[in-house]
Amino acid sequence: MPLALVALAITAFAIGTTEFAAMGLLPQIAHSLDVSIPQAGWLISTYAAGVVIGAPLLTARTAGLPRKAVLVGLVALFTAGNLLCALAPNFAFLAAARLITGLPHGAFFGAGAVAAAELVAPHQRARAISVMFSGLTVANIVGVPAATLLGQHLGWRAAMLVVVAIGLLGTVAIARLVPQLPAHPGAGLRSELSAFRSGQLWLALATVVFGCAGLFACYSYITPTLTEVAGFADSSVTLVLALFGVGMTIGNVIGGYAADRALRPALCGALLAMSGALALFAVTAHARWSAALTVVLIGMAGFAVVPTVQTLVIDKARKAPTLASATVQGAFNVANGQGAYFGGLALSAGLGWTSPTLVGAGLAVIGFLIAVGSWIADRRAPVVVGDQPVAAEQVGATL
């Protein structure tokens, strides 16, 4: 794997740290800026809004530019946004800065995934994408706990400034290590939008929206589940969440290798495993050791989906992959909101702290069924050989 992937992973680490560390720093932010914790929670929503807005907008605006220049520019914008956060004089300014910080998130991962896939041989694409996303998973093991601890002792602004430093490192690393990657011939907004004529692309996005919502239905309420059901002390939750990050990292690697060998089976298998792990958690959450072990399994199965679905989208939007790849990040954020919503409905109905994980298991099954249906439809789709459409099975196409 080329060193350029390490440069992409460094930036992914910074993005993962700034996205999730804000959740652990909400009390400090609320006290510092004289707002309530629920009000401070809007900082998470404004970041997510930035991701959803920025992914298609920035990707469309930069579609015709050389990809290396685009990546450097996106990381620079992300770093500037974090600097604005660290210098925010009041809550409104901080919320606007969080929106700016979220804008390049989806566009970076979209362009970065395409670049990672082009830096290696075709049979290594999913593994290359998983290397880039490893920065995001390692952030949940090291970056988020460290930023939270730093913010608790030196203030949340200090944590933001550390992310700024990592962002600067990522900018320099990409500028020095990533080779020149010219834009695709004929790249532009019209070309990128043409990829969305593919029904397979929409099915892949639907797989993310429903399948990954299962993961977020559980993760959104995992802290009270661990404390109220498993009996963990508040001080121990951070360690268990770090174990979740370990599972994510392992699953990311496994998903990359499996997708390079058999893309569709890897995706369907990961979704089915995620559903099983989530359903199991409703039982194992009643003991600390089994709860911690299942949290690792959920992280493994949940994040094994990421390199598989990202590779599938790039494959199905081969002539114009960048916008489609960036849209996957928007789909993940929709899944995040949807999972938290349906999990919250179960809690509001008085079904208990383990009910969100059962809701998540059901959502993962829906994602699995969409993935299987997409696979079947793809196998039946005709492949053009010469001037004649022929069934994929007849030409031995690998789908």
Examine the domain organization and report whether 82 and 148 are in the same domain.
yes
The 10s digit of each residue's pLDDT in 141-153 is: 888 778 877 887 8
How many independent structural domains does the chain possess?
A: 2
Q: Which of 183, 213, 229 is the last residue of a domain?
A: 183
Please name the residues in contact with 16: beta carbons below 8 A apart, sequence gap of 6 or more.
135, 136, 137, 138, 139, 140, 143, 144
Report whether pLDDT(392) > 50.
Answer: no
Q: Domain for residue 189, yes or no? A: no
Domain boundary (146, 164, 183) is at 183
Dist CA 207 CA 205 (whole Å): 5
Is 313 contained in some domain?
yes
When the pLDDT of each residue in the chain is averaged and rounded to a whole number, the result is 82
Domain region containing 48: 1-183
Helical segments of the chain, H only: 4-24, 26-33, 37-40, 42-61, 67-86, 91-118, 125-138, 144-154, 156-177, 189-194, 199-219, 222-228, 234-261, 263-284, 288-316, 321-348, 355-380, 392-395
pLDDT band of 189, cuts 50, 70, 90? low
Q: Could you tell me if residue 188 is inside a domain?
A: no
Q: According to the model, what pLDDT value does residue 271 have?
A: 93
The answer to whether position 121 is within a domain reads: yes
| Residue 152 domain-assigned (yes or no) | yes
| Residue pLDDT, tens place only, 262-299 | 889 999 999 999 999 999 999 999 998 999 999 999 98
28 and 107 within one domain: yes
Residues 58 and 138 in one domain: yes
The mean pLDDT of 155-164, rounded to a whole number, is: 88
- Contact yes or no for 290/67 (Cβ under 8 A): no
Residues 248 and 396 in one domain: yes
- Which one of 158, 183, 208 terminates a domain? 183
Q: Are residues 137 and 239 both part of a single domain?
A: no
- The string of DSSP codes covering 261-296 is H-HHHHHHHHHHHHHHHHHHHHHHTTSHHHHHHHHH
Q: Are residues 111 and 15 in the same domain?
A: yes
Q: Are residues 339 and 399 in the same domain?
A: yes
- The pLDDT of residue 363 is 93
Lowest mean pLDDT among 2-11, 106-115, 187-196, 287-296: 187-196
Within this chain, do residues 348 and 245 fall inside the same structural domain, yes or no?
yes
User: Residue 299 maps to which CATH number?
Assistant: 1.20.1250.20
387 lies in the same domain as 240: yes
Residues 328-381: pLDDT tens digits? Answer: 777 887 887 788 788 888 888 888 888 889 999 999 999 999 999 988 888 876
User: Does 316 share its domain with 368?
Assistant: yes
- Do residues 141 and 267 share a domain? no
The pTM score is 0.75
pLDDT at 177: 87
